[in-house]
Amino acid sequence: MLMFGLRRLLWGIPSTLCVSLALLSPSLAQTDLASRMKDPGQWPMAARDYANTRYSELDQINPSNASGLRLAWTFSVGVDRGQEAAPLVVDGTMYVVSPYAGPYPNRVFALDATTGELKWSYAPKPEPAAAGVACCDVVNRGLAFDNGKIFLNTLDNHSVALDAKTGKELWHTKLGEINKGETITMAPVVVKGKVLIGNSGGELGVRGWVTALDENTGAIAWRAYATGPDKDVLIGEDFKPFYDNLKGKDLGVKTWPADRWQVGGGTMWGWISYDADLNLIYYGTANPSPWNANQRSGDNLWSTTIFARDPDNGNAKWAYQVNPHDLFDHDEINENVLVDLELNGQPRKVLIHPGRNGYMYVMDRATGEVISADAYEFVNAYKGVDLKTGKIIPNEEKTPLVGKTVEDICPTAPGAKDWQPSAWSPRTKLLYVPHQHLCMNFKASQVGYIAGTPYVGADVDMYAGPGGHRGEFMAWDPVARKKVWEIHEQLPVWSGALVTAGDVAFYGTMDRLFKAVDAKTGKLLWQFRAGSGFIGQPISYRGSDGQQYIAILSGVGGWPGAVANAEVDQRVRNGALGFAGAMQDLPFYTAGGSELLVFKLGGTSNQDGSHAPQQ
């Protein structure tokens, strides 16, 4: 991932811990998260549900009327950096969090979801130095809710619980150390009274972990590392991986050179799913450290691995390593979408994982068996996935060597798809996937480990893939194992996806367009030109007026947007760990932004850019 944060300026610490501007929200019913997921009018977690579908059952907006979407209200979070967060909507209140920048980093706002009226805001007292070690912009991917509490992760490794009615801080817990390069950017997930959080920083040799906190006290319940001995990884006698190469004692040590596992990466800054029937959480770990694979012989377990764990104690039940001995920074923190499919005439409980390596994995979520793995992007770094062994087949011609530039590697370091989450429709049985279409030249170099500094060992130059476009939004059929339709975009599609029961899919582009398309055909139905590019996560909810609303944060940034909002010279092609080369023209399309945009049919504004597309 990207390291451009080391030149950051330090921001001042706010003088007040909790800014309560107004206590106007109605009393919140103390029901649990799972019950709120059953109410289609709410959006109670970043992914909307434990299955990570990002599907809304609301159908007021449909292909016949989507062209009538208009801006209903807006709100500025006040920080023109990368806006990747998903808003939450619970009991008529919208909760949104800002990036880690400006005078009030990671500030939380509570707004009336129908009118946009501000109810309260909360500003933590962070450590400004965290911005200096952050990888991939100072982003925050969202909040969590359960039992009347809002949960916030701050970039400087704190988890905070707030009273959802008032914004009062209830507890905070420190989870990591910025002097080691650790940060937190992921949206927390609450399962059975535990707040689940993973760390970032694999490009600084951070050792990855997932930690569970008691939601009422903030006390640490368990922590599972991604590298090291079995007792640290929480692997015991009930660990039953499907594939033989993953069976053995202390593989998180033995698959590394001596002691390298201690700075081996495998962080977890993506998405967590949960199957209540199996009582298993699912998540993927990130790349091993450093990028230069010549310095870390072996499979480097348990980096680039999908884990299934018991949320009660963290014990691993199965694991599958997607990219053994990862060569190209192909993290596998991407979402695991939990669906039930009929495959070969048999019902299967599966997870769908759009791999960073360019393959669409369909796996048995009870056992970890790979059922299918098909390329959804142009791939030449690998030659496929062996379904008998589960192992990916490398293309030896693309293996990086120290001091040698290997050209035309596809997909590039951010993969065919990075963190940006896809959406699943149970109506169309399609997965809607935003992703990039990039290739790279890669040169490995020797690098030494110094805590809190870049530990990468690679020089990367990225550029558009075959055909010249750099992004795509597509619909994938996991049963037929193929694309149904695709939309090419000139820039990477770095926003999340949303799909609704009205058969409309939504996504944003980095050149400032928010789009609605027909979920069955991909036909453009409507688009809105915003002030800044989109890398946020769209959501849908029902307002107190009975109307269906669509909301998303506008504000370009993240790894590909660094050249538009951070101190990165786009003329230096290998800047931002190579993404500058692929995004040299981005500053001509957009600058940073901080605007929350909320739409409904026949809204109050017909702002320029909100229109039906020309046919």
Q: Which tens digits make up the pLDDT trace of 428-440?
A: 999 999 999 999 9
| Each residue's pLDDT tens digit, 58-105 | 999 999 999 999 999 999 999 999 999 999 999 999 999 999 998 999
- Alpha-carbon torsion (526, 531, 534, 537), positive or negative: negative
Q: Mean pLDDT for the chain?
A: 92
215 is in an annotated binding site: no
| Each residue's pLDDT tens digit, 184-222 | 999 999 999 999 999 999 999 999 999 999 999 999 999
Residue 29, pLDDT > 50, answer no
211 is in an annotated binding site: no
Contacts of 64 (CB under 8 A, 6+ apart): none
Examine residue 28 and state whether it is found in any structural domain, yes or no: no
Distance CA 94, CA 22 (A): 14
Determine the pLDDT at residue 542: 98
Q: Over 116-174, what HEC string results?
A: CCEEEEECCCCCHHHHHCCCCCCCCCECEEECCEEEEEECCCEEEEEECCCCCEEEEEE
In the numeric block, the tokens 């690098």 are attached to 447
Determine the pLDDT at residue 7: 31
Beta bridge partners of 540: 550
Determine the pLDDT at residue 9: 25
Examine residue 370 and state whether it is found in any structural domain, yes or no: yes
Examine residue 103 and state whether it is found in any structural domain, yes or no: yes
Residue 18, pLDDT > 90, answer no
Examine residue 224 and state whether it is found in any structural domain, yes or no: yes
Under DSSP, is residue 597 helix (H, G, I), strand (E, B) or coil?
strand
Examine residue 611 and state whether it is found in any structural domain, yes or no: no
Interval 548-557 mean pLDDT: 97
Residue 604, pLDDT > 80, answer no
Q: Which among 80, 232, 329, 511 is annotated as catalytic?
A: 329
Number of domains in the chain: 1
- Alpha-carbon torsion (363, 369, 375, 381), positive or negative: positive
574 is in an annotated binding site: no
Task: Of 117-131, 174-188, 218-232, give the lowest mean pLDDT range.
Answer: 117-131
Determine the pLDDT at residue 573: 76
Q: Which domain holds residue 68?
A: 43-601
Prediction pTM value: 0.93
500 is in an annotated binding site: no
Under DSSP, is residue 604 helix (H, G, I), strand (E, B) or coil?
coil
Radius of gyration (Cα) for the chain, nearest Å?
A: 22
Alpha helices in 413-501 (DSSP H): none
CATH number of the domain residue 299 falls in:
2.140.10.10
Beta bridge partners of 161: 151, 171
Q: Phi, psi at residue 178, to the nearest 5°?
A: -70, -25
Provide the CA 483 distance to its chain's centre, in angstroms: 22
Interval 297-308 mean pLDDT: 98
CA distances in angstroms from 389 to 250, 299, 385, listed in the order given? 21, 14, 9
Given a contact cutoff of 8 angstroms between Cβ atoms, the answer to whether 257 and 297 are in contact is yes
Residue 615, pLDDT > 80, answer no
Contacts of 468 (CB under 8 A, 6+ apart): none
Interval 251-279 mean pLDDT: 97
Examine residue 25 and state whether it is found in any structural domain, yes or no: no
Distance CA 39, CA 49 (A): 11
Contacts of 184 (CB under 8 A, 6+ apart): 153, 154, 155, 157, 158, 159, 175, 176, 197, 198, 199, 200, 269
- Structure token digits, residue 189: 């997930």
Examine residue 607 and state whether it is found in any structural domain, yes or no: no
| Each residue's pLDDT tens digit, 358-389 | 999 999 999 999 999 999 999 999 999 999 99
Residue 19, pLDDT > 50, answer no
Examine residue 6 and state whether it is found in any structural domain, yes or no: no
287 is in an annotated binding site: yes
156 is in an annotated binding site: no
Q: Is 326 a catalytic residue?
A: no
65 is in an annotated binding site: no
